[in-house]
A and B are shown apart, each in its own frame.
Chain A
Amino acid sequence: GAGVSQSPSNKVTEKGKDVELRCDPISGHTALYWYRQSLGQGLEFLIYFQGNSAPDKSGLPSDRFSAERTGGSVSTLTIQRTQQEDSAVYLCASSLTHTNTEAFFGQGTRLTVV
């Protein structure tokens, strides 16, 4: 596609439920990143994919968070047993390669846990 696409744009969920957030990177981009933006923490790195593998998961805040990428394209970030502190905007970005200098961001998914 023309840009990084994320869905849904907004998600409201009840505490304790699981949610899945989807990211469609720019076609041909091999590197994909997930970030989280919240008022208290700013922009935080969560996980990085090169192809289908995730060499850096160091930013995932707990074992309730997981992500996968299939076919070197679409990625899904899953949050299990959501908590109120998970409320944030989840941003996905992609770049042509992992050494490529520029990362392009999607519009984000605003997650609200009530």
Chain B
Amino acid sequence: ELKVEQNPLFLSMQEGKNYTIYCNYSTTSDRLYWYRQDPGKSLESLFVLLSNGAVKQEGRLMASLDTKARLSTLHITAAVHDLSATYFCAGGVEPPGGATNKLIFGTGTLLAVQP
């Protein structure tokens, strides 16, 4: 069964600094997702990564996928306070026959960007 682990669980960083959130998963996953959640809000889709070597960038966030290492990273460049939120990665599970499309989530990383 797919298991997804994120680290760190909590990240406090200063504005202008760079950092990376790591997402490891245990078995083959069809796709890897990154979501953002603000306090009291729902999940906002950031990236969907479908193949080995996939890299996607949006503003100061860049996500990559290495299926051989079963690792995805979310890199934050020159952080700003507005990026403070909880970030989740999730692996997609779709067994033969396509009977389900459930997502298995990591524990989340609470990012706090200090001025």
- Using a CB–CB cutoff of 8 Å, the interface residues on chain A facing chain B are 31, 33, 35, 42-45, 48, 55-56, 59, 91, 93, 95, 98-108
Contacts and interface: CB of A to CB of B under 8 A. Distances in A.
Q: Interface majority SS on A: helix, strand, loop or mixed?
A: strand
A104 B45 contact: yes
Interface of B: 31, 33, 35, 41-45, 48, 50, 88, 90, 92, 94, 98-108
Contact of A91 (B42, B94, B101, B108): B42
B88 A43 contact: yes
Given A43-B88, A91-B43, A98-B98, A103 B108 contact: no
Contacts of A98: 94, 98, 100-101
Contacts, number: 59
Given A42-B108, A43-B88, A95 B102 contact: no
Contacts of B108: 42-43
A95 B33 CA distance: 14
Contacts of A93: 43
A42 B102 contact: no
A28 to B, nearest CB: 16
B42 A108 contact: yes
Nearest to A33: B102
A102 B90 CA distance: 12
B88 A105 contact: no
Contact of A45 (B42, B45, B103): B103
A95 B31 CA distance: 15
Nearest to A31: B101
Contacts of A95: 101
Nearest to B95: A56
26 contacts: A31-B101, A35-B105, A42-B105, A42-B108, A43-B90, A44-B105, A48-B101, A48-B102, A56-B99, A56-B100, A59-B102, A91-B43, A93-B43, A95-B101, A98-B98, A98-B100, A98-B101, A99-B98, A100-B101, A101-B48, A103-B101, A103-B103, A104-B45, A105-B42, A105-B44, A106-B42
